[in-house]
């Protein structure tokens, strides 16, 4: 269902879609597994090694998005009450148009 939501809501937003994967502190190599349809593809961006709640903290995500001419961030994933919310707030502060897919986020 998560993948269906992303395909229906994110891809139609505009003609330019750049997949950005933000991995929250991987405890050991291989600890994060992507759905086969969400695997990193050539040309995608992957921001890693951040230890704060925001996907922008301690990463070059802001630089990479600006370098690729992107000004709209669409968020989905786990930990809506911390990581997703913090990333959304940070994105807004940096001037990005920010969309949170409320039916594609989770909390535990």
**Residue 66 placed within a domain:** yes
On the question of pLDDT at 79 being above 70, the answer is: yes
Structural contact between residues 98 and 73, judged by C-beta atoms closer than 8 angstroms: yes
Phi, psi of 38 (to 5 degrees): -110, 15
Report pLDDT digits (tens) over 3-40. Answer: 444 554 454 445 455 555 555 555 566 666 666 766 66
Q: Select, from the ranges 20-34, 42-56, 58-72, 86-100, the one with the highest average predicted confidence (pLDDT).
A: 86-100
**Residue 91 placed within a domain:** yes
**Residue 63 placed within a domain:** yes
CB atoms within 10 A of CB 84: 25
Q: Which of 28-32, 68-72, 98-102 is the least confident region?
A: 28-32
Q: What is the pLDDT of residue 2?
A: 45
Q: Where are the beta strands (DSSP E) in the chain?
A: 20-24, 45-50, 72-77, 97-105
pTM of the model: 0.70
DSSP H helical segments within 1-108, as ranges?
2-9, 61-67, 85-93
Q: Count how many domains the chain has.
A: 1
- Domain membership of residue 66 as a residue range: 53-108
């Amino acid at each position: 269902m998560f993948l269906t939501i992303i395909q229906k809501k994110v891809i139609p937003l505009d003609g330019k879609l750049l997949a950005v994967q933000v991995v929250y502190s991987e405890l050991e190599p291989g600890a994060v597994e992507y759905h086969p349809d969400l695997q990193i593809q050539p040309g995608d961006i992957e921001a890693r090694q951040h230890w704060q709640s925001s996907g922008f903290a301690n990463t070059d995500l802001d630089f990479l998005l600006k370098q690729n001419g992107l000004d709209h961030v669409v968020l989905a994933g786990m930990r809506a009450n911390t990581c997703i919310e913090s990333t959304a707030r940070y994105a807004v502060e940096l001037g990005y148009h920010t969309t949170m897919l409320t039916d594609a986020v989770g909390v535990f």
